[in-house]
């Protein structure tokens, strides 16, 4: 049944095409047909749309030695952050939403708790005590140096001063972790809230909190990733590891963008062999615009182990007839030559959007990943447009016309 449907579909397409390779016009009730020159097929605009005919140029690709790879998009550890509260508290404000772009130092949330007040009070108290002990220490030191004071008193003053100074520095560091200003506190301004800030530029992937909830110091409030540092994390299996070097090119496709190809350059090769996958990890930097790419996306492609590039076309752009291979190029000069003494006919051709496609013999080489190496027998113009996808149908229609079927 499936085979019958394919045959019917093919007959319908070739019938549609053959109708245009014979250009029929009615003039005063009389019909006449026009045929393109040998090796040329002519299609109007509707027929080109029906075939989804695509035009393009040669692509330079590496088909000499390729290794199949697959993996995921990832960011380095320095480009990903889990945000915690350092000290537990209640959520008073949430200033970002999932997907928001944030900058380093931007406030993500505001927390409040009585412990924040107590911490600042302790700091102010320790500071005042430190001032007193510092002066007492200096006084005892001066007495000791002048052989007036007892050494025991001097040693006790020194110990008390150093103990309180250490506690003062510890409290000051805790305040800095909470983004609280020591100078502001010493001026008498005590805050019941602290700000949670982003340590990196990036995008908010997760928001794990809600207003009023209590969070502990170890709870992850936000997950932020800097997607500008995204790269390809790929697996290379043990049989191919010896072929991999830094600086090699990798051509990649994403599972959600199969029609778009990305180029990446290897910048790091893992040194640890995974006994489960029988592979090592390699890391490659993507050279194209990475907008829209998200860590975790599945990727696959080919790693090229040399830099010898060659002229290629998609496999569907090439057709075989006997032992020879052919491509079709856009060549409307054929229509112009046929209509050089008939201005009205030429205008009619243009109105119908007709195009002529000439068959050109080529020599094919290696194939890989849907592309074939192409070597020209005769040179073509640099800007020549080549049919990329339906060469088989064009050949079939041209043969029908030439045999008169």
Residues 143 and 85 in one domain: yes
Residue 107 has which token pair? 């406030």
Residues 244 and 123 in one domain: no
Q: What is the CATH number of the domain that holds 107?
A: 2.40.50.100
CB 31 within 8 A of CB 364: no
pLDDT at site 348: 55
pLDDT digits (tens, 9 = 90+) for 191-224: 999 999 999 999 999 999 999 999 998 999 999 9
What is the C-alpha to C-alpha distance for residues 272 and 89, in angstroms, rounded to an integer?
42
pLDDT at site 257: 77
Residue 132 has φ and ψ, to the nearest 5°, of -65, -45
Which uninterrupted H or E stretch holds 118? helix 114-145
pLDDT at site 27: 38
pLDDT at site 386: 94
Residues 92 and 132 in one domain: yes
Residues 91 and 218 in one domain: yes
What does each C-alpha distance from 152 to 134, 141, 149, 159 come to in angstroms?
17, 11, 9, 11
pLDDT digits (tens, 9 = 90+) for 284-318: 999 888 887 888 899 998 887 766 678 999 999 99
pLDDT at site 83: 93
Q: Is pTM beyond 0.75 here? A: no
Residues 317 and 374 in one domain: yes
pLDDT at site 144: 76
Strands (E), 130-192: none
Angle between helices 114-145 and 151-177 (to 10 degrees): 150
Residues 199 and 331 in one domain: no
Task: Report the number of secondary-structure helices (H) and strands (E) in the chain.
Answer: 8, 25
In the listed set 262, 287, 308, which residue is the last one of a domain according to the structure?
Answer: 308
pLDDT, mean of each 10-residue run, the chain (405 residues): 42 47 38 58 89 91 78 90 91 94 94 92 91 86 74 84 91 90 89 93 93 93 92 89 87 82 90 83 89 87 77 92 92 68 54 83 85 90 90 86 58
Residues 128 and 210 in one domain: yes
Other Cβ atoms closer than 10 A to 40: 20
Please name the residues in contact with 113: beta carbons below 8 A apart, sequence gap of 6 or more: 87, 88, 89, 90, 192
pLDDT at site 37: 67
In the listed set 257, 286, 308, which residue is the last one of a domain according to the structure?
Answer: 308
Total domains in the chain come to 3
Strands (E), 231-354: 231-237, 249-254, 257-269, 279-286, 298-304, 310-314, 319-321, 324-330
Other Cβ atoms closer than 10 A to 131: 12
Residues 386 and 259 in one domain: no
What is the C-alpha to C-alpha distance for residues 252 and 384, in angstroms, rounded to an integer?
27
Residues 113 and 47 in one domain: no
In the listed set 185, 208, 224, which residue is the last one of a domain according to the structure?
Answer: 224
Q: What is the CATH number of the domain that holds 356?
A: 2.40.420.20
Residues 106 and 73 in one domain: no
Count of residues for the chain? 405
Residues 262 and 160 in one domain: no
The half-sphere exposure of 124 on its side-chain side, counting CA atoms within 13 A, is 17
Domain span holding position 282: 66-78+227-308
Q: What is the CATH number of the domain that holds 296?
A: 2.40.30.170
pLDDT at site 141: 80
Residues 151 and 276 in one domain: no
User: CA nearest 264: which of 291, 295, 299?
Assistant: 299
What is the C-alpha to C-alpha distance for residues 193 and 115, in angstroms, rounded to an integer?
10
């Amino acid at each position: 049944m499936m085979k019958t449907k394919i045959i019917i579909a093919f007959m319908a397409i070739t019938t549609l095409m053959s109708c245009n390779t014979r250009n029929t016009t009615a003039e005063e009730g009389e019909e006449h047909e026009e045929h393109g020159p040998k090796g040329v097929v002519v299609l109007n605009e509707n027929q080109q749309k029906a075939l989804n005919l695509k035009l393009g140029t040669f692509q330079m690709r590496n088909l000499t030695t390729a290794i199949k790879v697959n993996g995921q998009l990832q960011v380095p550890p320095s480009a990903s952050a889990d945000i915690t509260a350092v000290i537990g508290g209640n959520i008073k404000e949430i200033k970002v939403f999932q997907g928001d772009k944030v900058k380093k130092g931007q406030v993500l949330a505001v927390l409040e708790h009585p412990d924040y007040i107590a911490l600042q009070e302790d700091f102010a108290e320790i500071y005042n005590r430190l001032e007193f002990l510092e002066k007492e220490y200096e006084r005892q030191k001066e007495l000791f140096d002048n052989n007036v004071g007892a050494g025991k008193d001097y040693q006790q003053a020194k110990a008390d001063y150093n103990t309180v100074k250490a506690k003062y520095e510890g409290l000051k560091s805790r305040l800095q972790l909470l983004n609280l200003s020591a100078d502001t506190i010493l001026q008498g301004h005590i805050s019941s809230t602290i700000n949670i800030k982003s340590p990196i530029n990036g995008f908010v992937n997760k928001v794990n909190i809600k207003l009023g909830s209590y969070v502990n110091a170890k709870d992850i409030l936000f997950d932020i990733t800097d997607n500008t540092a995204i790269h390809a994390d790929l697996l290379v299996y043990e049989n191919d590891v010896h072929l991999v070097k830094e600086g090699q090119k990798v051509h990649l496709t994403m599972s959600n963008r199969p029609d778009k190809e990305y180029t990446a350059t290897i910048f790091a090769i893992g040194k640890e062999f995974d006994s489960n996958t029988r592979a090592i990890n390699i890391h490659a930097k993507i050279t194209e615009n990475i907008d829209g790419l998200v860590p975790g996306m599945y990727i696959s492609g080919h790693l090229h182990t040399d830099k010898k590039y060659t002229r290629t076309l998609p496999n569907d752009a090439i057709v075989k007839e006997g032992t020879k291979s052919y491509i079709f190029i856009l060549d409307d000069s054929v229509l112009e030559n046929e209509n050089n003494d008939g201005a009205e006919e030429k205008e009619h051709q243009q109105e119908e959007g007709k195009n002529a496609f000439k068959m050109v013999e080529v020599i094919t080489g290696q194939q890989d990943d849907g592309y074939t190496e192409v070597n020209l027998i005769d040179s073509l113009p640099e800007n020549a447009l080549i049919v990329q996808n339906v060469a088989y149908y064009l050949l079939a229609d041209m043969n029908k016309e030439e045999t008169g079927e």
